[in-house]
Structure 1
Amino acid sequence: MRKFITSGEGLPRWSAPISHAVVVDNLCFVSGQLSIDEEGRYVAGTTKEETARAFQNVFAAVREAGFAREDISFVQVDLIDLRDIADVNVVFESLFEPGKRPARTVAQAAGLPYGARVKLVAVAARERAREA
């Protein structure tokens, strides 16, 4: 069974022909999230602000898919400037408990939509499949 998350509370409206997330069994794959508000507008800010807003969107997608923040097992962070990783770490540490933080990769991007500073991709996993 697959579940496609295309809209929901707290999720931005997208013009792109993709889903915010796709659930397959006990996994939730979250599409790249930027600092986008619910109306689909890019919200420019510092790296910390954009990271926090992008995480709001990740959490909204996970929630709409029937998963919890604690189910997030992997996060990919794409940055325009790798020197901003310290700012990402501050936000990351504030959102996830020590000892329960997801695995993570960080890469520098040549460019991101809207001129964004950061993009987040996430995967959430549950111990066993349950209906969402």
Structure 2
Amino acid sequence: MDDRKFITTGADLPQWSNPISHAVVVNNMCFISGQLSVNVKGEYVVGTIKEEAIRAFGNVFSAAKAAGFDKSEIVYVDIAFSDLTEVQDVNDIYMDLFPEGKRPARTIYEAAALPFGGKIKVVATAVKSMKNG
């Protein structure tokens, strides 16, 4: 029996023709695909690094929600930047999105190029507690 759940659509998720799932749920884990500054129509929205980061993280949270997860269940974040000198601007947003003491583990790196010429791409993993009750 296949216990995987593939999230390809959702009310707040970008709708586009790319052959991807926004997220895949396996047991108590949710693997969220790289999210960009894309609106619900699937159109890339150019902005400052902060604006693009807010939209990309919003898409991550929307994918998590569509999969039945809360942003507080995100345990790992992978962030690709087109320019690593903009890390501090994203750190400011990150600290607002995730409370101190409950911030996910993360990796950051500079990518030679991101889709649509974007400034940031965010990948995440969420895990539900296995506690009973």
TM-score by length of 2: 0.95
For structure 1, list consecutive stretches of 5 or more residues without a partner in the other structure.
none
Is contact 1:28-1:124 (8 Å) kept?
yes
Q: Cα gap change, 1:102/1:42 in structure 2, threshold over 3 Å: closer, same or farther?
A: same
Amino acid at match of 2:21: S
Cα distance per residue 1:41-94 (max 9 Å; x no partner): 000000011000000100000000001110000000000010010011011011
Shift of 1:128: 1.8
The answer (yes or no) to whether the contact 1:25–1:129 under 8 Å persists in 2 is no
Name the SS for the 1:4 alignment partner: strand
Contact 1:26 1:129 in 2 (8 A): no
- Unmatched runs of 5 consecutive residues or more in structure 2: none
**What TM-score, normalized by structure 1, do the two folds share?**
0.96
In the other structure, the counterpart of 2:106 is 104
Call closer, same or farther: CA 1:16–1:45 in 2, change over 3 Å.
Answer: same
RMSD across aligned positions (CA): 1.2
Identity value in percent:
53
Residue 36 of structure 2: aligned partner: 34
- Correspondence for 1:80: 82
Partner-residue secondary structure (3-state), 1:52: helix
From 35, 58, 61, the equivalent of 2:60 is 58
Match among 113, 117, 120 for residue 118 of structure 1: 120
The CA distance in 2 between the partners of 1:9 and 1:104, in whole Å, is 27
Q: Distance in 2 between matches of 1:129 and 1:25?
A: 13
Between 120-129 and 2-11, report the one with greater CA deviation: 120-129
